[in-house]
Structure 1
Amino acid sequence: ALAKQKSNYDAEIEKLKKEVQSSKAQAPTARSPPSNLKTEEDYKNYYAAKYFNDLGIYSNEDLDSHYPKKPFQRTNQSARMDRIELKVDKIGQMTSQFGKMVLENQSKKPVAKLNRTQQCYPFQPINSSVSANEEGNEGGYDEEKDIWLDSSEKKNRYYQ
């Protein structure tokens, strides 16, 4: 039963495919207005003639004789792609030549020698003008306790 049903579906699908292909073949090609139309009056006459042609009043021969068919111009995509690829290749060649020139110029320049000896400076207290002894160890280093002390004046300045 399932095999028979599947064969019926396949037959219907084939019929539909044939109908679609035949309708594509019968579909009229798009027709653009001729290039010889210059004024608005010419365009009005063309569209009126086309309308009468669609109604069957005006024949296709008359329409073609007065307004010759000019199909939509389709651009040749492959030719365009070929031109783009040629330009990309040319840019790539120029880039590689430029890179070679840069490398050649850099090889002629003298190499800078690095001085690897660095000098380290000892840390100094931020407020070096006021010694810890003058403030009574309030804002400096207490050697006996081995800690740094902050003055209340500094704390109050930031928390106000």
Structure 2
Amino acid sequence: MAHGFIPDEAPMPTDFAEYTMELMRRVQAEHALLDAQEAEEREEEQRADEERAERARSGELGPEWRTVQQRIDLHQTTLEDVFSGADETTAAATLRGRARDNLSQLRELWEEREDETDEPTPLDLLNGARGESAAHLRAAAQHIQAVIADVQRRRDEGNLA
């Protein structure tokens, strides 16, 4: 699936009503694309969360996860509460500590990998994606500004009906 702003290179109509309708069509198409991407990502997150929950319920992830999942199932806590620190139970604190340790180890592995190879680490890829996202937003904003300036110029010149 394509990601992000896709400029439409077709020329814009000169009639103001048609111009406005075409602009709206392009905005709606971009909005529909983003909505579809978000829905797909939500579905994948839900599938992954349900798989994790099943593994936790079965005890495959350890006793702390089983305890926390039971509390989640009873609506006594959430994953957000567990990992934000709002859930102060022993099981939640243990999971937070493990998560911190795992993230520290992961960062160390990435740093070692960075020293050993010219290949980008996952952290490099994440930072690159952030940069691309920011660039995409800047490009979309510039495109919108250009369209607005063009509409104003055409209106001022009397070229829009």
Same fold (TM over 0.5): no
Structure having greater relative contact order (Cα 8 Å, sep ≥ 6): 2
Normalized against structure 1, the TM-score is what? Answer: 0.27
Normalized against structure 2, the TM-score is what? Answer: 0.27
Max Rg structure: 1
